Amino acid sequence: DAGVTQSPTHLIKTRGQQVTLRCSPKSGHDTVSWYQQALGQGPQFIFQYYEEEERQRGNFPDRFSGHQFPNYSSELNVNALLLGDSALYLCASSLVLVSYEQFFGPGTRLTVL
Amino acid sequence: AQSVTQLDSHVSVSEGTPVLLRCNYSSSYSPSLFWYVQHPNKGLQLLLKYTSAATLVKGINGFEAEFKKSETSFHLTKPSAHMSDAAEYFCVVTERGRDDKIIFGKGTRLHILP
């Protein structure tokens, strides 16, 4: 079992650009959640996807959007990047009926210059 | 709405001595509580979870936590610290059956002194 995988590992972008991060869930899981972890902070919930739809969302602007594919993998898109978007982006997968039990990937480190 | 407070941002203990990481929570409904560990440049690993069964929960690597409803606490303990325990620890609360939103504490950095 490969667990949750994320790509890329690191990414450097400039202000105003757009970025796409990818996540493959743990085998058998159907729900994917995304978190932003700023340096020295705990992860902040961005949104969760199930059955290719956004199931719930945290307090993040519309610049943050996502997608879930039929194979349950997911993408996080961020438009019009700001310096403050620099963070570790974590993906977590779960089963919808026990969506509070999440397995995390290693994260993607995004740096915005 | 639920919330979680980790009372110490940094904790230092000597190797071989007990570890105590404190966590208080707020929840209007039946909470589920978790502790995660994050080693440098690694993802989050689940240490243990409380989901309304036994109040004393045993996790991996010798860690355990006790759910105390009267004190709204879920402190993490370990009898004897090891150098490999040095990491960031997060207390997490969610309300099962509600919106299932997961709230992380700000984290406690555990330092192990030789």
Question: B32 and chain A: CB distance < 8 Å anywhere?
Answer: yes
- Per DSSP, the residues of B39-61 read -TT--EEEEEEESSS-SEEE-GG
Phi, psi for B85 (deg, rounded to 5) = -80, -10
Q: What is residue A97's predicted lDDT score, i.e. its pLDDT? A: 72
CA distance B98 to B72: 19
Report d(CA B8, CA A27) in Å as an integer.
36
* Res A79: pLDDT: 97
Q: What is the pLDDT along chain A (113 residues), one digit of tens a residue?
A: 679 999 999 999 999 999 999 999 999 999 999 999 998 889 999 999 999 999 889 899 999 999 999 999 999 999 999 999 999 999 999 887 776 778 899 999 999 99
Does residue B102 belong to the interface with chain A, where contact is any CB pair within 8 Å?
Answer: yes
Backbone φ, ψ for residue B77 (5° rounding): -135, 160
Rounded Cα–Cα distance for residues A99 and A93 (Å) = 8
What percent of chain B is modeled with pLDDT above 70? 95
pLDDT of residue B32 exceeding 70: yes
> CB-based burial of residue B108 (10 Å sphere; 0-12 exposed, 13-18 middle, 19+ buried)?
buried
DSSP, collapsed to helix, strand or coil, labels residue A84 as helix
- Collect all residues of chain A within an 8 Å Cβ-Cβ radius of residue B51: 100
pLDDT (0 to 100) of residue A91:
96
Condensed to tens digits (0 to 9), the pLDDT of residues B40-86 reads 877 899 999 998 778 899 999 999 999 999 999 999 999 999 999 99
Chain A residues with CB-CB distance to B107 below 8 A: 40-42
pLDDT at res. A61: 96
Start-to-end C-alpha separation, chain A: 36
CB B65 within 8 A of CB B75: yes
Question: 């110490």: which residue's tokens?
Answer: B8
pLDDT of residue B51: 83
pLDDT category at B36 given cuts 50, 70, 90 is very high
Smallest CA–CA separation between B20 and chain A, in Å?
Answer: 19
Tokens of B27: 């929840």
Q: How large is the average pLDDT for residues B18-24?
A: 98
Q: Do A104 and B44 touch (CB under 8 A)?
A: yes
pLDDT value of residue B99: 60
Task: Indicate the Cα dihedral angle A42, A92, A82, A54, nearest 10°.
Answer: -120
Is residue B98 scored above 60 in pLDDT?
no
